[in-house]
Amino acid sequence: MFAKVILLVVALQACLVSSDTPGIRQTAAGIFQIAPMAAPFLTHKCENNNFGAGCTECQKGSLCLGSEQPVEVDCTLTSGTPYCNKDQCSAVPLEVCEANARVEKFICTAEGFFPDPKQCENYHYCEDANAASDIYNCPSGYVYNPVTGACKLKSSASDCVVIKCPSASGYGTYGTNRTLYAYCVYTRTPVVLSQTILFKCAPNTAFDGSACVYQCTKEGNFENSADMSTYYQCSISGEGWLSQLLNCPSGKKFDATKQICLVPN
C-alpha cells in the first residue's frame, strides 16, 4: 500500500511541472494528504477475519465482522453526524478532511466540468444532467482553470475566481467568463444563500446577464446544437447584432447546410 502511495506522490509531483494539471478526485485526495498521519485512516480493511471499525473515507467507514460480509457505513446517511473520525461517525471532521468538508456536491444541469461555486481550489465533473457531481481538488497552490478544465498554478489573487451572487435570488456571474453562470437562491427567513445552481451556455453562445445569447458574426440562420428543433437567426439592427432563438415548424429539424427547417430523413 505504502509503495503505491509513494508512486502516486511521485506521479503527482511530475504533473506539477506543467502549467496545468488534473485535480485529484476528492475521495482519493486523502491518500496524498494523510501520508504523514496515522495509517489506519483511509487504509482500513476487513481481512483475515478481523473485527472492528475504521474510517475508509472522510464520511464513510466499514465494520468488520470476522468471516461475515463487512458492513459499509455512510455517516451522511446513517447518522446526524456526517464525518468519520476516530473510527466512528462524528460531528467533527479530521483535519485532513476539513477543507473537503466545505465542498458540497450539486445536482448537475449538463455534462462536463464546472467550477465549485465557493472554492476556487476545487471543481466538479458532471457525467450527465440530473446526476450528482464528482468533486476534484487541485494540488496546493493551484486553482481551477475553466479554459482547460484542469488546475493552473495560482500566480495572483485574481486567479481565484468564484461565483459572484447578487444580494437576492437571481443570476450570478463567474468572473469575466461568459460561458458559465449560476442562479443563486436565497431563503426568506432568515435571508441566507441556500443554493447555487450552475449552468453552461451552449457552443457559440454567451451569457448576457439573463440568458445565453448566440454570438452573431454574420447575418443568417444558424444551428442550435443543444436543440435542433430550434435555430438562431442573426440580423443587423440599429444597435448592432440582433440574435433570436426561433422554433422550427412542428416535426421539422434545422438543416445547417441549407439553413432552413426540414423534415428529418
Q: Which of 35-44, 152-161, 250-259 has the lowest mean pLDDT?
A: 35-44
Give the confidence band of 99 by pLDDT, cuts at 50, 70, 90: low
- Sheet of strand 170-174, all strands in order from the earlier edge strand to the far edge: 163-164, 170-174, 177-186, 193-200
Dist. CA 136–CA 196, nearest whole Å: 18
Dist. CA 238–CA 165, nearest whole Å: 33
Dist. CA 257–CA 165, nearest whole Å: 40
pLDDT at 244 over 80: yes
pLDDT number for residue 259:
92
pLDDT at 97 over 80: no
Dist. CA 237–CA 179, nearest whole Å: 24
Q: Which of 112-116, 184-188, 236-240 has the lowest mean pLDDT?
A: 236-240
pLDDT number for residue 165:
94
What is the CB neighbour count within 10 angstroms for residue 80? 8
CB-based contact 91:112 (threshold 8 Å): no
pLDDT number for residue 90:
83
pLDDT at 36 over 70: no
- 136 grid coordinates: 476534484
Dist. CA 181–CA 159, nearest whole Å: 17
pLDDT at 41 over 80: no
pLDDT number for residue 103:
76
What pLDDT, in 10s, does the model give residues 152-199? 999 998 999 999 999 899 999 999 999 999 999 998 777 888 899 999
Dist. CA 31–CA 215, nearest whole Å: 44
Q: What is the mean pLDDT of residues 97-102?
A: 59
pLDDT at 29 over 60: no
Helix axes 2-15, 26-33, angle to 10 degrees: 100
pLDDT number for residue 8:
34
Dist. CA 239–CA 67, nearest whole Å: 76
Q: What is the mean pLDDT of residues 119-123?
A: 90
What pLDDT, in 10s, does the model give residues 187-219? 877 788 889 999 999 889 999 999 999 999 999
**Average pLDDT in the chain:** 81
Break the chain into its structural domains and give their ranges.
2-101, 212-262
